[in-house]
Chain A
Amino acid sequence: MLETPWRSFKTATWLGWQIESNWTQPLLFALYSIVKPLAVAGILVVLYGLVTGGNFSSPMFAYMYLGNAFYTYVGAVMTGMAYAAAEDRERYQTLRSIYVAPVDIRFYLAGRGVARFVTASVTVAITIAVGIIFFHLPIRFWAVRWPLFLITLATGVVMLAMMGLMLSGFALLLPETSWSVGEGVAGALYLFSGAIFPIDVLPRVLRPIGFAMPITYWLELLRRSLMGSAPGIETFPRLSDLDLLGILVSLTLLLSAAALFIFHSCDNMARERGLIDRTSGH
């Protein structure tokens, strides 16, 4: 029963890695994996430094920097999965072959997303290392709450994969948007997820969007687990770590159910309209 999903997932993860790393020399590949996210971090560092006069020891800086670093995963996985659907259909024209084969397409797409998660992990680690070395982020290896961190990260992989699956469904159904929907949605969620500023900065009417998203709790837990007992800004000061974890897991389960349903619907509609093997020229 698990053989097909596992085979689909394993092969797709391998394929995703081959695609991501296959276009130039390894050293250049490493550079490209680092420069882009560090540039985003750099934007935040410059604008923060400009306004606060370089007060990088403030908890607000750590909040912003870490949130942005981990948000790299969101873009990588969500964009990666939606992009995989677009690429396989339009550029490589292999999607039709995958559908015809005894492959579980959901696990296939998840595998492509996980390949992006792996490459993004290098990026996140380097971004945080830069933050510790150059901006003295208050993260101490011995003070990190590793069990909480790892459980949160693992839950996040599932959560992001489900979000990516949902977007992949839209990408299948709407060829004209398939190239940009992943990046666009990831960019938009940046506003609501409390990644780079506390949610209470948003107008009151927009805050419920942030509270309804599992990404918000995921980022909060990652910050808390890394910062240990160092002073920090907490988005949910009255909620304990266990409360947050419970909310994260519950929302992830709800999201998973919704994602599977939405993907299933989009997949059916795409097949009905003959979109699986049609190149749109976009």
Chain B
Amino acid sequence: MGREFAVETEHLGRIYRTREKKTEKKTLIALDDVTLEVRRGELFGLLGPNGAGKTTLIKILTTLLSPTSGVARVAGYDVSREAQHVRPLINMVSGGESSGYGLLTVRENLWMFAQFYGISSAEANRRIADLLETFKIADRKNTKSSQLSTGLRQKMNIARGFITDPQVLFLDEPTLGLDVGASRDVRAFVRRWINEDRTEDAARTLLLTTHYMVEADELCDRVAIINDGRVLACDTPARLKQRLQSDSIFRLETTPLDGLGAQQIAAIPGVRKVACHAGDGRARVELILEQEQVIGAVIAAMEANRISLLSLTKHQPTLEDVFVELVGRSMEEVEVTDEPALT
């Protein structure tokens, strides 16, 4: 059994069968042939739009959902056949969680979950005190969780994930509901936690799903980009962005693109990828061009259609650009227009 990897999947698939009408069954492909390896001690990111399959993958890895094909292993144990060996080693936190009991205080909720992992009360209370200090909610430890704001509640949820000191921790959109400062604190803590000096056997691994590019870029050792249940690319953020280093990336803001659609812009020679968004009476166009000079042709096409250019910036490639390059549309467009893969 491979102990080198904290998480491994081989041709993992998950299909849901839904019944939309009494006589009509539909099949939803949530994951399709996903093969991944996450090394021990790694902070691994899963980046993709809503509905890409990130949460489905997390559910399988945390033994909450069985795959319909393929194999998944966590800490060397098969998640389907050896779930009882996986569970003592993992924990999971989801964004927007409402778990726990409203009539218990923050401390009591965390203590209760610690009991389910066999942690003594004394040790649990010590860890709770440390974590609440770290996340700056120590002053709310005796507040009933029903009286917490969304952000404070999410902090409590995140503390719940760390309290059991798991070997593999799964964070599914953990900073959802947190303000900028709190998100920063969480990211800093996550980094410290992973890097804490430990033996190789006790190395901690963290798998983070997010649709915030900045978060993945800042935190993750490696990132897998996922869309429509498939892994499109998997590498360090730097190497993923290097794919586009030779390309020129521009962001334009214009008046509405009447008469000039994304397809027509894409047809201009030298335009590799284009993504358009409309809103507030303006249009935002993201371009990946083979050469910088191609921008002239794009602007000329706009002028021919009486579209005014409001702003133009050239920038270094980001993971968002990598996504556009891989999928052909921005993450926002995918979320707005796509239905999940149905057959």
Instruction: Name A's B-contacting residues (CB within 8 A).
Output: 175-176, 278-282
Number of interface residues of B (CB under 8 A): 8
Assembly CA distance A79 to B270 (angstroms): 69
Total A-B Cβ pairs within 8 A? 20
Closest to B104 in A: A281
With A278-B147, A281-B100, A281-B101 given, name 5 new contacts (CB 8 A).
Answer: A280-B103, A281-B103, A281-B146, A282-B102, A282-B103
Chain A residues near B147 (CB-CB < 8 A): 278
Closest to A281 in B: B102
B107 CB → nearest A CB, Å: 16
Q: State the 4 A-B residue pairs at the shortest beta-carbon distance, nearest first.
A: A281-B102, A280-B146, A280-B102, A281-B146
Q: Name A's interface SS.
A: loop
Chain B residues near A279 (CB-CB < 8 A): 98, 102, 146
Assembly CA distance A212 to B75 (angstroms): 70
A-B contacts, 20 of them at CB < 8 A, read A175-B146, A176-B103, A278-B146, A278-B147, A279-B98, A279-B102, A279-B146, A280-B102, A280-B103, A280-B146, A281-B98, A281-B100, A281-B101, A281-B102, A281-B103, A281-B145, A281-B146, A282-B102, A282-B103, A282-B146
A91 CB → nearest B CB, Å: 12
Assembly CA distance A155 to B102 (angstroms): 40
Chain A residues near B101 (CB-CB < 8 A): 281
Assembly CA distance A176 to B146 (angstroms): 11
Closest to B109 in A: A281
A24 CB → nearest B CB, Å: 14
Chain A residues near B102 (CB-CB < 8 A): 279-282
Closest to A273 in B: B147
B225 CB → nearest A CB, Å: 33
Chain B residues near A280 (CB-CB < 8 A): 102-103, 146
B2 CB → nearest A CB, Å: 41
Which of B98, B100, B147: most chain A CB closer than 10 A?
Answer: B147
B202 CB → nearest A CB, Å: 35
Closest to B102 in A: A281
Chain B residues near A281 (CB-CB < 8 A): 98, 100-103, 145-146
Assembly CA distance A135 to B146 (angstroms): 52
A108 CB → nearest B CB, Å: 24
Restricting to B97-116, which residues have a CB under 8 Å from any CB of A?
Answer: 98, 100-103
